Amino acid sequence: MIDYKIISSGSSGNCVIIGDVMIDCGVSFNKIKEDLYSIKYLLITHIHSDHLNKVTLQQIIKKFPRIVIIGNYEVHGAAHTNIIANAGFPVHTEDYIFYPFECEHDVLTYGFVFEQNGKRIIYCTDTGSMDEAPDGQFDYFFLESNHDEEKLEAARGLKKGTYDPYLSGKRHLSTQKAKAFYYMRRSGREAEFIELHKSSRFY
């Protein structure tokens, strides 16, 4: 068993806690302040503001300097990280080996695989595909399950100004693809599927 907490997941902000690992800080500092006392690692998936709130990150760095911050080179360029992750290369820390992998999005975005309490965990959001996910089976799936494919298809051609809801949705993982990945890669019937980043319009 692992302990986890979904602080927020969606276009308004993203932050998930898995044991002593926090993934993304796209929320206000006050929303996560009390949780930070038990956090040792902060993984940041990409630079979009709903995943990386720069003001929050600066407060974390200032008030919780012991937390190890890990992200790709774009994240490092936008804000401080202790470790720059590269897809395909494991990140070794005192407590974990994090395996970053590339996601399909409009900026450089990483998912992560790691083990906690003997359970293999995969975390992936803001991606159109799971093609780059590491091999093997998993016990916990923290996966984007953004939209129903038929509902999104019905929005094709509904572009308003520069915003195209159909193209925007295609940058995210559908519920069908997320569930297919879960069923094909789960370690057993007890493996848990935690849906993330669900669209309020197309889920």
Q: Which two tokens stand for residue 46?
A: 């990409």
Please answer whether residues 44 and 75 qualify as being in contact, where contact means their C-beta atoms are separated by less than 8 angstroms: yes
Q: Does the pLDDT value for residue 189 go beyond 80?
A: yes
Using a 10 angstrom Cβ sphere, with 0-12 exposed, 13-18 middle and 19 or more buried, the burial of residue 111 is buried
**pLDDT score at 75:** 96
Confidence of residue 76 (pLDDT cuts 50, 70, 90): very high
pLDDT band at 146 (very low <50, low <70, confident <90, very high): very high
Q: Once rounded to an integer, what is the mean pLDDT over residues 92-111?
A: 97
Q: What is the pTM of this model?
A: 0.94
pLDDT tens column, 22-59: 999 999 999 999 999 999 999 999 999 999 999 999 99
2.40.10.10, 3.40.50.2020, 3.30.420.40, 3.60.15.10: which CATH number matches 4-196?
Answer: 3.60.15.10
**Residue 2 carries which DSSP code?**
-
C-alpha span between 199 and 149 (Å, rounded): 12
Query: What residue ranges do the domains of the chain occupy?
Result: 4-196
Amino acid letter, residue 14: N
Mean pLDDT of the chain: 94
Strands 140-144 and 97-102, how do they pair?
unpaired
pLDDT digits (tens, 9 = 90+) for 103-124: 999 999 999 999 999 999 999 9
The pLDDT value given to residue 71: 97
Q: What share of the chain is helix, strand, coil (3-state, %, to 5)?
A: 25, 30, 45
Q: Which DSSP symbol is given to 53?
A: -
